[in-house]
Amino acid sequence: MPDAPSAAAGPRPEPFTPQAAPAALEDLRARLRATRWPDTPEDAGWSLGTDLAYLRELVAYWADGFDWPAQEAALARLPRFRVRLGGLPIHFVHARAAAPAGPVLPLVLCHGWPDSFWRYAKVIPLLADPGAHGADPAGSRRRPASRSSPATSSGRRGRGLSARRTSCA
């Protein structure tokens, strides 16, 4: 869990592990199975909107093929929290470095809407514990190249793809 702030520091993050109620999942499956399909001209494909054959296949997968409990288990492997900031509920993953040998530089990975932290699910373990994935943990703590570093393969100078700063906002 993130370091506990003092009472004067503001809101306190709370662990967060959402779980879908089995009744809600069964209700969703029943509604998907009960879809009333429109008539469509033969071989319309995507020319008149979503291809009906594709959509039927997708709905059948969500109704009978998608394993939501397995997805929830995968989501639960990441340490998730919620906190209210500026009146907004913020949901975040807080993954600590596995065995830091020294000071650790926090890394914030953020996304826009509509999107999800799930886009980072594969890289979070690699960043938090590079040694467990074949990388040299000491090498992962190197300072980024300075702006005076040689040009990258893209022809730009600086830190790889871009030397400009970006924000999450």
Looking at residue 59, what is its pLDDT? 97
Looking at residue 4, what is its pLDDT? 54
**Closest to 35 measured CA to CA, from 17, 61, 8, 74:** 61
Is this prediction's pTM over 0.95? no
Mean pLDDT of the chain: 80
Give the mean pLDDT of 12-24. 92
Convert the pLDDT of each residue in 27-70 to its tens digit: 999 999 999 999 888 788 898 888 999 999 999 999 999 999 99
Alpha-helix residue ranges (DSSP H) falling in 20-112: 22-33, 52-60, 68-76
Confidence of residue 161 (pLDDT cuts 50, 70, 90): very low
Preceding amide of 106 cis, omega within 30: no
Residues across the chain: 169
